[in-house]
Structure 1
Amino acid sequence: MRNDFAKKLREYEARFEAMEPEEQIVLKDKFVNSEKYETEVEGYIVVWNTRIAKDGPLPFCAKGGTRIHPKVTLDEIKMLARKMALKNAAAGLPLGGAKSGLRGNPDEKEFKRKYQKFVEIAKPYFHENGGKCGGLGFDIGARPEHVDWAIEVLGSGKSFTGKPAKLGGTDYDKNGIAGLGVAVAARTYLDAVGKSAKGAQFAVQGLGAMGAAVTKYFAAYGGQMVALGDPVLEGTWVFKSPPTKAFYEYVGERDYKKIRTYLDINANHIGKDSNVVLEQACDVLFPCAMQNVITNTNVAKLKTKLICEGANEPVALDTYKRLQSRCIPVIPDFIANPGGVIAAFVEMTSKSKDKVTEAKEMTEMRIAENVRACLKLAEEHGVSLREAGLYLAYQRILD
Structure 2
Amino acid sequence: MFPHRGVPFDLPRPRSNAFTPSPMSQGTVSKGPNDADVQHTPDEFNPFEAMADRFDRASDILGLEEGVREVLRAPDREVIVSFPVLMDDGRVKVFKGYRVQHSFLRGPAKGGIRFAPDVHLDEVRALAAWMTWKCSVVNVPFGGGKGGVVCDPRTMSRGELERMTRRYTTAIMDVLGPERDVPAPDMNTNEQTMAWIMDTYSMHARRSTTAVVTGKPLSLGGSRGRTEATGRGVMIACREALKTLGMRPENTSAVVQGAGNVGGIGAQLLHREGYKVVSISDISGAIYNERGLDVPDVLSYIKQNRTLEGYTECDHLPHAEQLELECDLLAPCATENQITSKNVDRIQAKLIVEGANGPTTAAADKVLEERGTMVVPDILSNAGGVTVSYFEWVQDRMGYFWTEDIVNTRLEQSMVAAFNDVDKARRKYDVSMRIASYILAIDRVASVYRLRGLFG
Q: Verify: 1:182 aligned to 2:234, yes or no.
A: yes
Distance 1:40 1:355, change over 3 A: farther
Q: Which residue of 1 aligns with 2:268?
A: 216
Pick one of 243, 267, 272 that aligns with 2:317: 272
Identify the residue that residue 364 of structure 2 maps to in structure 1: 319
Residue 348 of structure 2 is matched in structure 1 by 303
Change (3 A) 1:189 1:47: same
Which residue is 2:286 aligned to? 235
CA distance in 2, matches of 1:6, 1:117: 40
What corresponds to 1:23 in structure 2? 77
TM-score by length of 2: 0.72
Task: Choose from 102, 105, 123 the match for 1:51.
Answer: 105
In structure 2, the CA distance between the partners of 1:179 and 1:34, relative to structure 1 (3 Å rule), is closer
Determine if contact 2:116/2:149 at 8 Å carries over to the other structure: yes
What whole-Å deviation, never above 9, does each CA across 1:206-227 have from its counterpart, x for those lacking one? Answer: 2232111111111222211133
Q: Check if 1:159 corresponds to 2:219.
A: no
Pick closer, same or farther for the CA change 1:208–1:390 going to 2, 3 Å. Answer: same
Shift of residue 392, structure 1, vs aligned partner: 0.5
Q: Percent identity?
A: 25
Which residue of 335, 343, 362 corresponds with 1:290?
A: 335
Q: Measure, in 2, the Cα distance between the counterparts of 1:274 and 1:39.
A: 33
Secondary structure of 1:185 counterpart: helix
Does the Cα contact within 8 Å between 1:342 and 1:362 map onto a contact in 2?
no
Tell me, yes or no, if structure 1 residue 281 matches structure 2 residue 319.
no
1:126 aligns with 2:180: no
User: For structure 2, which runs of at least 5 residues remain unmatched after alignment?
Assistant: 1-56, 203-207, 448-456
Aligned residue number for residue 197 of structure 1: 249
Q: 1:253 to 1:299 in 2, by over 3 A?
A: same
Question: Quick one: distance in 2 between partners of 1:341 and 1:151?
Answer: 18
How far off is 1:309 after superposition? 0.9
One-letter code aligned to 1:159: V
Partner of 1:330: 375
Q: Matched residues in 2 for 1:309 and 1:111: separation? A: 30
Residue 96 (str. 1) matches residue 143 (str. 2): yes
Shift of residue 178, structure 1, vs aligned partner: 0.4
The answer to whether the 8 A contact 1:43-1:101 is kept is yes
Residue 373 of structure 1: CA displacement? 1.8
Q: Is 1:225 matched up with 2:277?
A: yes
CA distance in 2, matches of 1:293, 1:376: 28
CA contact (8 A) 1:52 1:95 kept: yes
Aligned to 1:8: 61
Conserved 8 A contact 2:331-2:353: yes
RMSD of aligned Cα (Å): 3.3
Whether the 8 Å CA contact 1:347–1:355 is kept in 2: the answer is: no
Q: Give me the whole-angstrom Cα distance separating, in 1, the residues matched to 2:362 and 2:173.
A: 37
The range that moved more, 29-38 or 86-95, is 29-38
In structure 2, the partner of 1:255 is: 303
| Per-residue deviation, 1:236 | 4.1
Segment of structure 1 superposing worse, 379-388 or 355-364: 355-364
Aligned AA (1:113)? R
Gaps of 5+ in 1: 54-60
* Cα drift, residue 335 of structure 1: 0.8
Aligned twin of 1:382: 430
The aligned residue for residue 189 of structure 2 is 142
Partner amino acid, structure 1, of 2:170: E
- Say if 2:252 and 2:328, in contact at 8 Å, map to a contact too: yes
**Partners of 1:198 and 1:223 within 8 A in 2:** yes
Q: How far off is 1:243 after superposition? A: 3.8
Q: Deviations over 1:190-215 (max 9, x none)?
A: 12343322332211122232111111
Partner residue, 1:81? 128
Conservation of the 8 A alpha-carbon contact between 2:282 and 2:307 = no
Task: Give, in angstroms, the shift of residue 189 of structure 1.
Answer: 1.5
How far apart are the structure 1 equivalents of 2:233 and 2:60? 31
Deviating more after overlay: 30-39 vs 156-165 = 30-39
The CA distance in 1 between the partners of 2:149 and 2:413, in whole Å, is 34
- Match of 2:256, SS state, is strand
- 2:281 and 2:308 in contact (8 A); partners too: no
Q: TM-score, with normalisation over the residues of structure 1?
A: 0.82
Amino acid in the other structure paired with 2:440: L
